[in-house]
């Protein structure tokens, strides 16, 4: 009888534990980032849709004053850089650096490299 009570208590505690873990939401709202990223890798012609989806998610998060998930500003900056828009890329890398101080080293390096690349392009044109 004692074993039966112990089993029931353990079963109830296990159920509560698992329910508590399952109901907890994520720390950040990713806005479908993983699915959009997968689709852009699978079909490179969907890269523009990925950029637009990321821009929309970032705008929505900023409008609602919520903190953006780490790396999303940098991801958008890289998409801008791939399209040849160095100014927008640097702006996004700067936002990433300012939002997530632990990314400062990487973002500063990217900003420096993009700026050097843009200035050497300008020198070649002159």
Q: What is the C-alpha separation between 74 and 90, in angstroms, rounded?
A: 9
Domain ranges of the chain: 29-125
Q: Are 39 and 49 in contact (CB under 8 A)?
A: yes
For 59-80, what is each residue's pLDDT tens digit?
999 999 999 999 999 999 999 9
Please give the CATH number for the structural domain made up of 29-125: 1.25.40.10
> What does the pLDDT read at residue 120?
84
To which H or E segment does residue 59 belong? Answer: helix 47-63
- pTM (global) more than 0.85: no
| Angstrom distances, CA of residue 121 to CA of 8, 90, 113, 115, 125 | 72, 16, 12, 10, 6
């Amino acid at each position: 009888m004692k074993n039966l009570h112990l089993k029931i208590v353990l079963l109830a505690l296990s159920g509560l534990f698992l329910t508590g873990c399952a109901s907890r939401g994520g720390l950040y709202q990713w806005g479908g980032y993983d699915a959009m990223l997968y689709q852009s890798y699978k079909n490179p012609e969907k890269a523009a849709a990925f950029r637009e989806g990321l821009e929309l998610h970032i705008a929505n998060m900023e409008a609602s004053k919520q903190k953006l998930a780490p790396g999303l500003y940098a991801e958008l900056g890289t998409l801008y850089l791939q399209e040849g828009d160095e100014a927008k890329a640097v702006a996004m890398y700067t936002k990433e650096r300012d939002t997530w101080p632990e990314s400062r080293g990487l973002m500063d390096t990217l900003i420096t490299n993009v700026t050097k690349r843009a200035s050497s392009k300008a020198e070649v044109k002159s």
